[in-house]
Every structure is written in C-alpha cells, then in structure tokens.
Structure 1
Amino acid sequence: MLTLDEIQLPIKEHLKRFEKTFKASMQSSAPLLDRITGYLIKQKGKQMRPMFVFFSAGVSGGITESTYHGASLVELLHTASLVHDDVVDNSNERRGFFSINALWKNKVAVLVGDFLLSKGLLLSVKHKEFELLRIVSEAVEHMSEGELLQIEKARHLDIEETIYYEIIRKKTASLIASCCACGASSAGADEDTVEKLRLFGEKVGIAFQIKDDLFDFGLDDVGKPVGNDIKEKKMTLPLIYALNTVAKSERRKIINLVKNHNEDTEKVAEVIEFVKSNGGLEYATERMLQYQQEAFDILATIPNGGEFKTGLEQLVRFTTERKK
C-alpha cells in the first residue's frame, strides 16, 4: 500500500501552498486565540480532506484559486467540529495531543470552535464562494443530525443496520462528500459531475467509517482489545450484524453487557469475542469493500482525469487498507 506522502505527489505543491493559506485564515488579533490556533496547526492530521478537494478539482477541470478557498473552508469547519466534539465527548486527547478543552477548559474550547466557524463563513463571503459555502454548510447540518441520531439511539441500543448507515452517512460520510463536491465545483464542473463526485465521496466516507469500526475490535499498542465503541455504547456494524445472527436470549445478554457493564474490561472483551465468533468482522469488511467498489464505479464514469483520478483511487484504497 502506498503512503499518503506518495499518494499526494501530484498535488504536493498545492498542499504546501494550502497550508500557508489555511494558517493565514485562522489568524486573530486576540493573543489567546492566536496561541490556540497555533497549537491546532501543530496537530496537523493526514490532510486527507484537502487531498480529496484537490484531487476532485483535478479530475473535474483543474485546480483553481477557488479550490484553495474550498479546501480552507472544509478544514476550518472540520477543525471547529473536532474542537466541539471533544467538549461533547469530554475527551482530553486528540491526535496524540491534549485537546483544547483539556488545556483551556470547555468555555474557551466552545468559543474557539465558534471562531473557526465564523472564519469559514467570512472566508466564503470575502471571496464570494457562495456555492462552496452551501455545500459545506449542508455537510455540517448533516453531521449534527448524525451525532444527535446516534445519541438518541444509544439510549435504547436498538440500532438496525439501515439506521446505522443513516448515522454514518450523515456523521462521517457527508464531510468527505462535501470535500469532493467542493473540489468539482471549484473547477467549474457541471451539476452532474459535482453530484457524481459528491456521491463518490459519500461512498468513500461510509467505507472509511466501517474501517474505523473494525479497528475497535483489534488490539491496542500493548496487545489488548480496544473496545472503545463498546465502552461508549456505540452500536457499530460488526456488533449489529453479530446480534442479528443469534437467538433473542443471546442478543439480550450481549445488549445488557454493552448497556450495563461497558466499563468492565472482561465484559467488553466478552462482547468483542462474541462479535468475532459470529462473523461480525467478516461481514463488516465485506460491506466496506462493497462501498469502496461502488465509489470506484462512480469514478470510472468520469472521463479522463489522468494522475488526479489515479490519486483518488489510491486515496480510496488507503482509507480501507490503513493500519490506524
């Protein structure tokens, strides 16, 4: 499998320039905000979302100045959502760093998230990127709905497979879909191409989330089962499938463990073993690869694209073959 550094070679110079424009878009006259946004920039992740924006623009007509605006807008709103998520989840860590709420408390973290959202809005208005703003705003709307739907269902642990897909389509896939749609729109693509790439991104996003679900049934750095989703009472695809393969009495027993014993390491390990022994991991992997193939099928309908299309294909494979 290629590394992200190898995949991004066709757009490497664009990403370098993007980093500078993104950093500039976060600047503030308030010293505390500057200190916090500087800290956020140091936590730079894999840059997969900007990569989807640039590659999608490349296959849709070419990277333009508008593409940089789209990438910055997506990253601003995505970063804001992560800061807010850490407050909601009471999380003290993000990408190996202390979270903003852990260092500066919840009030500051919420305000920082609001600041980043406003920066995204102002960036769009300043450059008259109203279509890009519409695309990304819809994604933020769907992300919020997905989170709330997950919270609602977690209370009863009654998520069926169709509801699970609805949650991850909104919560995770909508943002990657918006990256691809923004890229296509920024290149001046017609509505049909923009929609194709939006749907392509949605399929990739669903596959990406299923891969994350599978990680939770693996091992951590010291060889112990992870089980974080179980501890948080999240009903993921491997567990949902396994529950649907057993008798009602067994199903009730496992749901009870997730609901009432999710802090007990031995009970969590029992749930993990239940999922493994009832085909949950195999089924989830099969579905992940199905969504990956559906993404490839959509991409194949877009003519030409050259190295940018190859880059998108490699990026999709990375999402399903990554080790963490």
Structure 2
Amino acid sequence: MAAVNALIAKRMASEHAPRIPEVTAHLVEAGGKRLRPLLTLAAARMCGYEGADHVKLAATVEFIHTATLLHDDVVDESTQRRGRPTANLLWDNQSSVLVGDYLFARSFQLMVETGSLRVLDILANASAVIAEGEVLQLTAARSLATGQDIYMKVIRGKTAALFAAATEVGGIIAAAPEDQVTALREYGDALGIAFQIVDDLLDYGGVSATLGKNTGDDFRERKMSLPVILAVAQADAEERAFWTRVIEKGDQRDGDLEHAQALMQRHGALEATRAAALAEAARARDAIAAMPASDLGDALSDLADFVVSRVA
C-alpha cells in the first residue's frame, strides 16, 4: 500500500494545472479505507504474484473510485464526504467534474502500462458499468415503482462492479487458473453488494460523527434504497401517501425522517435489509473458501465480516 500511495501521489501531479493535485489530494488524503486497492494487492499476492504490476492496478482502481466520487458529489449536490467538506463545495462543480475526468484518463494510462488486454477490458467495462449504474439510479430515484430488481442493478453498477474488477484483475495479473479468477470476482461482487447495503442501512440508523456521513442523506436526496423499497412494499394507503409526498413529490417536513424510520421498523424493513447484507457477506466468504488456503484468504474472509460488523 505504501507503493500504491506513492504511485497515486506521483500520477495525480500535474505540471500545468495545480488545481488537479489540490482537489485530488483533498479526497485521496481524507482517510478513506483504500478497500479497493487493498483487494487488488491481496488477490494478486494470494495467487502467488511476485511482480510489480499489481501496484499499478491497485492505483488504477483507486483513481477510478476517486473519479466517481468527485462526479457523484456533483450529481448528488453533496456537501460532506468522509466527515469533510466535498471538493465541489470547497472549489466548484466544474473543478470536480474535470479533475474526475483527469483521474479517469490517468487510470487508463496505468492500465495500459500493464500490457494486459484482458485487464484493460475488465477495468474499462467496470468503468462503463459504474456510469450506467449511476444513470440508472437517476431514473430510478424518486419513483415508488422502483423495486428490488432495479435496486440490485444500481448497486451492482455503482459499487459492486469496481470491487469485483479489483479482485478479478489481481487474479489475472497473477495468471491464476480460471476457477480462481471466477472465485475472486464472485467474492468482490458479493463484498461490494454487502458494503453498499450496509451503507444504505446506516443512512437510517447511523451516527453522523462516526460515519463521516449525515444520517438521512439518502432520505433527503429521495433515493429508493433498500430500506425504503421494503417499507413501501408493505405500506397501506396512508403510508403510501406519505412515501409519495416525501420521495416522489419531495415535500419533506420536520419529523418526516423519524416517521420514515418508524415505518421501516414497523414493517421489518431495516431487519430485512440487515439480513440481505449478512447474506452477501456469507456469499463472499463462501467464494474465498473455494481458493487455496492462505493467510491472505483468511484476511479477505475476515474483511467480509468487517464490512457488515456495523450492522451484525
């Protein structure tokens, strides 16, 4: 990870536009978990890789992730990320979008340097799927017609796609057998889904100070996350009228967030969301169990538990 961080610092530099490293450093140095690049490094080492290209791939994955965060905060009009003001708030929307574009370009330069067409194909595809997931979320948000199937497509795109690609390319750069590459991809997919479901659940029951995220952000942004979808599915006429007002019409008043939480509790939506996250974590552990036994495999299995530990 020290090598990855050094490479990120080197590649986010810009000779002609000092704002690029300023904006990037604000986000990169904000104390994120660096989960995705860690997955790439662990997957490659697990499969016996002894070269250096996994460092480039890990940096690539982090650049893609950072670029999407910069763009997301503009789209969502967010003001806080990891407990700090967002780049779009400190600078402006134009800077966030353009620096995000720069990081995407940098990520593709790094991919090409590995010389693997298959790696390029996987990460390029993941980048497209991420964008697709975000656009789908735009059209699915604020509509009570959005069901669990659409929700899963959204989170598979916006979150799980990069987790899955991060682990899969680690296996590929190590020339691992196909069954191991498949197991790594399955692990990343399940871990990413669990990660996002937990995030959506905590939005209705987390603590802002510890999460670096405001509780109720998704509610205020009128996102059809899993707790809302499950509560709407069980709603009677009066409750549905409430959800129509706050989600579809955007008419939100004092006490509405608390009422939404109460409806979720009443219909078991929060508990069902929690169960869904735990099921995905179990799927991730099963996938990694198919790999040859190793300390890194144990660590990745523990990571699946860690991701859901806040709701377990």
TM-score computed with the length of structure 2 as normaliser: 0.91
Equivalent-residue separation in structure 2 for 1:80 and 1:34 (angstroms): 13
Q: 2:264 aligns with which of 255, 275, 280?
A: 275
Residue 95 and residue 262 in structure 1: after superposition, are their counterparts in 2 closer, same or farther (change >3 A)? Answer: farther
Percent identity for Structure 1 against Structure 2: 34
Whether 1:317 aligns to 2:309 is no
The one-letter amino acid paired with 2:227 is: P
1:17 aligns with 2:17: no
Rate the CA distance shift 1:205–1:260 in 2: closer, same or farther, 3 A: same
The one of 275, 286, 292 equivalent to 2:281 is: 292
Cross-structure match for 2:13 = 27
The structural deviation recorded for 1:281 is 1.1
User: CA contact under 8 A between 2:203 and 2:217: conserved in structure 1?
Assistant: yes
CA contact (8 A) 1:143 1:171 kept: yes
Q: CA RMSD in A?
A: 2.1
Unaligned residue ranges in structure 2 (runs of 5+)? none
Per the TM alignment, residue 164 of structure 1 is displaced from its structure 2 partner at its CA by 1.2
Q: Note if contact 1:232-1:262 (Cα within 8 Å) is conserved in structure 2.
A: no
Partner deviation per Cα, 1:114-166 (whole Å, 9 max, x = no partner): 11111111122234243222212111111111111111122422111111111
Residues 280 and 260 of structure 1: CA distance in aligned 2, closer, same or farther (over 3 Å): same
Aligned: 1:61 with 2:41: no
Report the 3-state secondary structure (helix = DSSP H, G, I; strand = E; otherwise coil) of the residue aligned with 2:91. helix
Contact kept, 8 Å, 1:227 with 1:269, in 2: the verdict is: no
Corresponding residue for residue 260 of structure 1 = 249
The CA deviation at 1:109 is 1.8
Taking the aligned partners of 1:244 and 1:38, their CA distance within structure 2 comes to 43
Amino acid at match of 2:296: F
Amino acid of the structure 1 residue aligned with 2:8: F
Matched, 1:237 2:226: yes
- SS of 1:322's partner is coil
Say whether 1:38 aligns with 2:25. Answer: yes
Aligned 8 A contact 1:66 1:187 in 2: no
1:252/1:299 Cα in 2 relative to 1: closer, same or farther (>3 Å)?
Answer: same
Superposed displacement of residue 275, structure 1: 0.5
Which range moved further: 57-66 or 226-235?
57-66
Q: Determine which of 136, 142, 163 is the counterpart of 2:150.
A: 163
Structure 2: distance between partners of 1:217 and 1:36: 30
Change (3 A) 1:122 1:275: same
Change (3 A) 1:262 1:269: farther
Q: Hey, what's the Cα distance between the residues in 1 that align with 2:142 and 2:103?
A: 31
Q: How far, CA to CA, are the matches of 1:62 and 1:109 in structure 2? A: 36
Instruction: Identify the range of structure 1 (106-115 vs 126-135) with the bigger mean alpha-carbon deviation.
Output: 126-135
* C-alpha distance in structure 2 between counterparts of 1:159 and 1:40, whole Å: 32
Aligned residues: 307
Question: Do the aligned residues in 1 keep the contact of 2:144 with 2:232 (CA within 8 Å)?
Answer: no
1:152-188 deviation per Cα after TM superposition (whole angstroms, max 9, x unaligned): 1224221111111111111111111111112111211
Q: Deviations over 1:18-77 (max 9, x none)?
A: 211221121221233333333343224111111111121122223531211110110111
Does the CA-based 8 Å contact 1:25-1:123 persist in structure 2?
Answer: no
5 Å-filtered alignment, 1:43-122, equals 43-122=30-109
Q: What is the distance in 2 between the residues matched to 1:240 and 1:36?
A: 35
Structure 2 distance, partners of 1:284, 1:263, is 24
- The answer (yes or no) to whether the contact 1:257–1:271 under 8 Å persists in 2 is no
1:214-236 CA deviation, whole Å, 9 max, x = no partner? 1011153589x932211111111
Distance 1:22 1:276, change over 3 A: same
Q: Is the 8 A contact 1:63 1:186 kept in 2?
A: no
Distance in 1 between residues matched to 2:225 and 2:23, nearest whole Å: 34
Asked if 1:302 is matched to 2:291, the reply is yes
Greater RCO structure (CA 8 Å; 6+ sep)? 1
User: 3-state DSSP class of the match of 1:28?
Assistant: coil
TM-score (norm 1): 0.88
1:206 aligns with 193
Q: Which residue of 2 is the match for residue 8 of structure 1? A: none
* Structure 1, gaps ≥5 residues long: 1-14
**Whole-Å separation in 2 of the counterparts to 1:114 and 1:203:** 28
Question: What CA distance in whole angstroms lies between the structure 1 residues aligned with 2:136 and 2:253?
Answer: 26
| Offset at residue 107 of structure 1 (A) | 1.7
